[in-house]
C-alpha cells in the first residue's frame, strides 16, 4: 500500500468518525482566537478554555489587553505554562495590532507572522479557523501521527506540512487538520497506540508488529 492509498483510507475513516469538526479553542472573535492559539503552546486546549472563559467576557479586543498591561495579563493567565512569555507576546501583539492594523487581525500569513509570538503554525490556525482560508496547521501531534501513518518521513514540521498538502486535496485541509487532532486524542494516543492498535494504524499497516518510532518536531 502506497502513501496515496493510505491517505484515501485515512480520509474515509476520519470523515466517518468526525463528520463535524467544531473548533476546540473557545473564542469570541478573530482576535480572541489568535490569543487562544498563542496561549495553547505547550498546554492543552482544555486548560486554555478554562482560563479564557473568565477573561473573554470582559477583555476581547487588543485595546483591552494594552490597557491591562503585562503584569495584569500575567495574573490572568498564571495557571497556563510559560505564562510570562505568553503575557509578553499577548501585550506586544495587541499593541502592534492597534498601531499597524487598526486593532484588526490581518488576513495574510506574512502580516500574521510579523506579530509577536506568532509563528507559522499559529498563523495557519487563524487563517484556517478564523478566516476560512485553506491551510494545514501542523503541530507536534499531527507531526507524530503523519509519521505513524506513513504520510511523511518526519524530517520536521515544515516537511510534514508539505507532504500532507501534497497528499490531500486542498478542499479538505481545514477540516482534516482538526479531524487528525481529534482522532489522535481519542484513538491514536502518543503512549497507547504506538502505531499498533487504532483503526487507521491497523488498516494501513496490518502486518506491523513493532511500535513505530517517531521523530520529534
Active site residues: 121, 139
Q: Is residue 35 within 8 Å of 63, Cβ to Cβ?
A: no
d(CA 178, CA 138): 10
Sequence-ordered alpha helix ranges (H) in 18-82 = 30-39, 45-52, 62-68, 70-76
First to last CA, the chain: 26
Rg of the chain, C-alpha, whole Å: 18
d(CA 190, CA 149): 13
d(CA 196, CA 188): 9
Amino acid at each position: 500500500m502506497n502513501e496515496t492509498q493510505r491517505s484515501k483510507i485515512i480520509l474515509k475513516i476520519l470523515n466517518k468518525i468526525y463528520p463535524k469538526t467544531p473548533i476546540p479553542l473557545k473564542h469570541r472573535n478573530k482576535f480572541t482566537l489568535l490569543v487562544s492559539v498563542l496561549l495553547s503552546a505547550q498546554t492543552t486546549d482544555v486548560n486554555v478554555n478554562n482560563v479564557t472563559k473568565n477573561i473573554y467576557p470582559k477583555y476581547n479586543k487588543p485595546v483591552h489587553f494594552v490597557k491591562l498591561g503585562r503584569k495584569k495579563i500575567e495574573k490572568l493567565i498564571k495557571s497556563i505554562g510559560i505564562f510570562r512569555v505568553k503575557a509578553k507576546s499577548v501585550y506586544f501583539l495587541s499593541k502592534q495590532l492597534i498601531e499597524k492594523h487598526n486593532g484588526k487581525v490581518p488576513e495574510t500569513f506574512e502580516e500574521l507572522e510579523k506579530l509577536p509570538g506568532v509563528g507559522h503554525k499559529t498563523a495557519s490556525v487563524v487563517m484556517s479557523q478564523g478566516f476560512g482560508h485553506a491551510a494545514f496547521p501542523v503541530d507536534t501531534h499531527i507531526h507524530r501521527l503523519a509519521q505513524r501513518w506513513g504520510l511523511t518521513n518526519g524530517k520536521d514540521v515544515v516537511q510534514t506540512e508539505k507532504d500532507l498538502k501534497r497528499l490531500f486535496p486542498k478542499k479538505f485541509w481545514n477540516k482534516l487538520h482538526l479531524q487528525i487532532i481529534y482522532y489522535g486524542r481519542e484513538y491514536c494516543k502518543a503512549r497507547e497506540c504506538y502505531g499498533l492498535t487504532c483503526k487507521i494504524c491497523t488498516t494501513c499497516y496490518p502486518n506491523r508488529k513493532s511500535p513505530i518510532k517517531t521523530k520529534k518536531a
